[in-house]
Structure 1
Amino acid sequence: MNTVRPDHSGSDGSGSDGTPLTAATVIAGAIGYVIQAAVPGFVATADYVAFSIYWSAVYLIVGAISGVQQEVTRAARQREMGPRATGTLFRFTLGSAGVFAVAIVASSPLWATAAFGAATGLVGPLAVAAVAYTFVAALSGVFYGARHWRGAAGMTITDSTVRLITIGIALALGGGIILLGWAVAVPFALAAVSLWFAGGRRAVEAVELDVPLRRMWRNSFSTVGAALATGVMISGLPLLLGLTSRGLGETDLAAVILVTTLTRAPLVVPMLALQSYLLVTFRDAPERAAQRTAIWGAMLMCATALLAVLGALIGPWIIDLLYQGRYALEPAMFAVIIAGAGLTALLSLTGAAALAAGDHLRYVIGWAASSTALVVGLIAVPAGMWTVIGAVALAPVVGIAVHVSSLRRQASRSRK
C-alpha cells in the first residue's frame, strides 16, 4: 500500500487486477455487518433506534458525498502530457468540504431535534464526518480513476477497521449516544490522514484530470444529487423510517430497521462498495457495458431469489436466537425485504452503467425517481408493517426503468 507506482502492472495494485479491492470489499462488508449486528445486543431497544437513526444520518451524508468520489473517479487518469491534478483536486475537495459542513450546521436547527431528540450534540460529529469523508472520497476517487486497486483497498479496510475499534471501545466504556457518534465519525479523518502519507500524495501527483475545475463542479452537482438520492434509498432508510413510520410503535419499528439493515447488507453493501470499480470497468469498455449489465444483473437476481428463500426459512430463527425475541418479524417479511435489497443492488448496477456512459441526467433521474417513490409511498400509505416493507421493496423498480432506458439509448447510438 505504500508503493503506489504510476504504471499499469497488476503487481502494484493498478492495472486490471482488482483482487485486492475485492478482498477489501469483503472484509469491510463483514466489519460493517458485525457493527450493525452487535450494537443492538449491547443497548436497549430505544437506544438502538436512536443509534440507528444517527448512523443513518451519517451515512446519508456520506452517501451524498460519495458523488465527489464518483466524479473524481471518472475524471482522474494516469498523467501523460497534462498538468498534475494536485492543485485542482485540493481546491475542489476543500471547497466541497466547506459546502457540506456549512449546509449541515446552518440547517441543523430545522431538523436536529426531530431527528436526534435531546441528543442535538450529534450535529458536531456529523459535520466532522462530512468534512473528513470529503477528503476520503476525493482520495479514493484518485485511486480508482488511476486503477490503483491496492490504494483503494487500503482506504476501504483502514476506515472500516478503525471504526470497529472505536465503536468497540465506546460500547465497552458504556458510553452514551454522543460518544458513539464520535466513534462513528473519527475514523473517516484517521483513514484520510493515514492513506495520504501511505501513498495518497504520490497517487495524486501521478494523475491528470480530463476536465477543468468548473466542469468538475458542474458534474459533481449531478453525481452528488444522485448519491443523495442513493443515500435516501439505502443508508438513509432507517432515518426515513424513523421520521415517517413512528406509527408502527417502537418495538415494531426497531424490528423493521434491524432486519432490513442485516438482510440487505449481503446484497447492497458489496454493490455500493464496488461502484467506482464498476464505473471504471464500464467506462473503459463501453461496447460491452450493456451486455455486462444484463449478465451481472441476472446473476444478482438469481442470488436475490436464493437469499430470499433462505431468509424466510432461517431468518426468524436467527434473529430470535441473537436477540431473544426482541425483534421478531414474519418469515414472508424477510423474503420481501431481501427481494427489495436485490432490486436496490440492481439499481446500483444500472446506475453505474448509465453514469459511465456519461448520461448524468438519467443517472440522477433514476435515483431521484426511486427515492421520491419511496418517500411518497411511506407518507401516503398507512403505517402498517406490510405497507412499509412493500414501499421499501418496490421503490427501486422506478429507477431501474430509467437507467435501462439510458443503456438502450446508448446502444442505439453505437449501432448508428
Structure 2
Amino acid sequence: MSPVAGDPAGGDAVAHGAPPAVIGRRGATRVALASAVAAAAGYVVLVLASRTLTPAQNADFLAFWALMFGLFGVLAGVQTETTRGVRRAAQLGTTGARALPVSLAVGAVLAVAAAATAPLWGTAVLGAGSAADLAVVLAAVLLFAGHSSQAGALSGVGAWDRFADLVGLEALVRVAATAAAAAVGAAVAGFEAAAAAGACTWLLLLVAPPYRRALHAHVDVPWRGFVRGLAHAMAAAAASAVLVVGFPVLLRVTSTPEEFATAAPLILAVSLTRAPLMIPLSAFQGVVITHVLEHRDRGLRALRPIVLALAAAGVVGAGLASVVGPWLMTLLFGPAYEVDGGVLAGLTLAAVGLALLTLTGAVTIALDLHRAFSTGWVVATLVTVVLLLTPWATEARTVTSLLVGPLVGVVVHLVALRRQRVARR
C-alpha cells in the first residue's frame, strides 16, 4: 500500500489518492489550534502540580516530567523521519517499509535501553525508590512510539485535520487525567501516571477508519534505510530532547541536592518562556518539512519570513518577560515561584535560539542532510552541557548555556546548507 495524501485544505487526506499537497488555510488553522491546546494543556498540568504538591515534591515531579518528555523527544525523530519518508514516497511513487512496525520496534529498543541503564542514573534523576516511576516511563515510551509514527504518517500524507486532532486530544487526555489526580489529592505517583496517560490517545482514535488506514503508510526506502534515517533523526531528537524538555534532568545531575531543591521556580521559568514558541513549532514540524520538500530548490530561503518573525518575537518577548514575567510567575504558581525579570528575558531569547535551531534542522533533514541534522543538535547539546558545568550561579549558567548552545548548532546547520548549495552550482 503506497502512501496517499489529501486535498489542499488539509482535510481527510488518508481517504484520498491525490498527490500530497502543501497545507491549506483550514489545515493550518486546525494545527495552530491544536498546538495552542497543547501549549495550554502543558501549563495547566504544571499549575495543577504546583498547587497540589509541595515545592520539593513538585521538583521530583518536574524531574519525572522532564525524563518522560525527554524520551518522548527522542521519539520525535520517529515522527520527523516518518514525515519525510512518507512524503518523499508519495513524490517519487515508491513503496518502502511500513512505518508503524519499525517505529514500534524502535520504541521497544529505546525502552529496553532505558531499563538496562537505569541503575546508572535512575536514583540520581528520579530519587530513591524509583522503580515504579521508571515502569511508568517505559510503558509511556512504548506507547508514544506508536503516537509518533501515526503523527508522522498523517503529516506525510497531508492529513492535517487528523494530525491536529491527534495532537490536541493527546494533550486533553493528559489534562483530564491530571485534573482527576489533583481532585483526589494524589501524591507524586498519581501525577506521574496521569502525565503518562496521554500516550494512549492514538490507540483510542483507532476506532475511526482514517486513523486505521494511516497505520499502513509506507516510507520511501526499505526498512534498513528507514532505520538508518531514524538513527540520525533520533540522535538529533535526543539532543533536542535534552535542550527542549530534558533540561531539568541536566540541572539536577549538575547541581547539589540543596541547589536543586530550590530550582523549581527556574525550571518552570524555562518551560514558561519556551512553550509559546516551541509547542506550536513542534506541532508544525511536519508542516515545515513538507513545505521544504515542495520547495527543495529554495532551501532555507523558503523559511525566511518565519525566521524574521521569530527574531522580532524574541526581542518583543524578552522585553515583556523582563517587565511582567515576575508578576506572571507568582500569579500562576504562587509566591514561592518568583524569578528575576532579567533571567526571564534571557530565557526568552534562548527560546528563540532553540526555535531557530529547530527550523534549520527541519531544512537539513528535508534536504537529506541527515548527518548534518544530527551533528548540529549534538554539538548544540554538548556546548550547553559544558557551559552548564561552569562554577557560576544556577541562574547564570542556565541562561548562558541555553543561549549559546543552540546558536552554535544553528551555525553547524547553516554551514552544511551552504556547502550543499555550492556543490549544486
> TM-score normalised by the shorter chain: which range applies?
over 0.9
Q: Which residue of 1 aligns with 2:41?
A: 31
In 1: Cα distance, 2:205 partner to 2:95 partner: 19
Q: Which residue of 2 aligns with 1:239?
A: 249
Q: Cα 1:186–1:84, aligned 2, differ >3 Å: closer, same or farther?
A: farther
In 2: Cα distance, 1:177 partner to 1:165 partner: 16
* Aligned equivalent of 1:155, options 161, 166, 187: 166
Which runs of 5 or more structure 2 residues have no equivalent in the other structure? 14-20
Task: Give the deviation of 1:347 after TM superposition.
Answer: 0.8
| Cα distance per residue 1:76-96 (max 9 Å; x no partner) | 1476996877x7334312321
In 2: Cα distance, 1:393 partner to 1:90 partner: 36
Task: Give the deviation of 1:25 after TM superposition.
Answer: 1.4
Q: Is the 8 A contact 1:5 1:12 kept in 2?
A: no
| 3-state SS, counterpart of residue 380 of structure 1 | coil
Report sequence identity in percent: 28
In 2: Cα distance, 1:218 partner to 1:376 partner: 29
The yes-or-no answer on 1:387 pairing with 2:397 is yes
TM-score with structure 1 setting the length: 0.92
| Cα distance per residue 1:278-318 (max 9 Å; x no partner) | 11111111123321333311210100110100000111122
* Aligned equivalent of 1:128, options 131, 139, 148: 139
Q: Which residue of 2 aligns with 1:211?
A: 221
* Aligned equivalent of 1:171, options 168, 177, 182: 182
The yes-or-no answer on 1:74 pairing with 2:101 is no
In 1: Cα distance, 2:328 partner to 2:11 partner: 41
Q: Give 2:70's aligned amino acid.
A: L
Task: Give the deviation of 1:124 after TM superposition.
Answer: 0.6
In 2: Cα distance, 1:269 partner to 1:327 partner: 22
The yes-or-no answer on 1:310 pairing with 2:309 is no
Q: Which residue of 1 aligns with 2:16?
A: none
Larger deviation: 379-388 or 106-115? 379-388
Task: Give the deviation of 1:5 after TM superposition.
Answer: 7.8
* Aligned equivalent of 1:91, options 83, 88, 101: 101
Which runs of 5 or more structure 1 residues have no equivalent in the other structure? none
Q: Is the 8 A contact 1:251 1:327 kept in 2?
A: no
Q: Cα 1:7–1:259, aligned 2, differ >3 Å: closer, same or farther?
A: closer
Q: Is the 8 A contact 1:245 1:253 kept in 2?
A: no
Q: Which residue of 1 aligns with 2:299?
A: 289
Task: Give the deviation of 1:330 after TM superposition.
Answer: 1.8
The yes-or-no answer on 1:188 pairing with 2:199 is yes
| 3-state SS, counterpart of residue 76 of structure 1 | helix
In 2: Cα distance, 1:182 partner to 1:113 partner: 18
Q: Which residue of 1 aligns with 2:55?
A: 45
Larger deviation: 252-261 or 13-22? 13-22
Q: Which residue of 2 aligns with 1:10?
A: 9
Q: Cα 1:80–1:321, aligned 2, differ >3 Å: closer, same or farther?
A: closer
In 2: Cα distance, 1:66 partner to 1:126 partner: 16
Task: Give the deviation of 1:384 after TM superposition.
Answer: 3.6
Q: Cα 1:248–1:385, aligned 2, differ >3 Å: closer, same or farther?
A: farther
Q: Indicate the RMSD between aligned Cα atoms, in angstroms.
A: 2.2
Q: Cα 1:413–1:321, aligned 2, differ >3 Å: closer, same or farther?
A: same
In 1: Cα distance, 2:280 partner to 2:92 partner: 35
| Cα distance per residue 1:188-246 (max 9 Å; x no partner) | 12x121223322221344x4421011100111110000000000111001111111133
| Cα distance per residue 1:163-199 (max 9 Å; x no partner) | 000011111111112221111112212x121223322
| 3-state SS, counterpart of residue 337 of structure 2 | coil
Q: Give 1:127's aligned amino acid.
A: L
In 2: Cα distance, 1:225 partner to 1:324 partner: 37
In 2: Cα distance, 1:290 partner to 1:6 partner: 25
Task: Give the deviation of 1:357 after TM superposition.
Answer: 0.8
Q: Which residue of 2 aligns with 1:117?
A: 127
In 1: Cα distance, 2:301 partner to 2:240 partner: 24
In 1: Cα distance, 2:214 partner to 2:104 partner: 18
Q: Give 2:56's aligned amino acid.
A: A
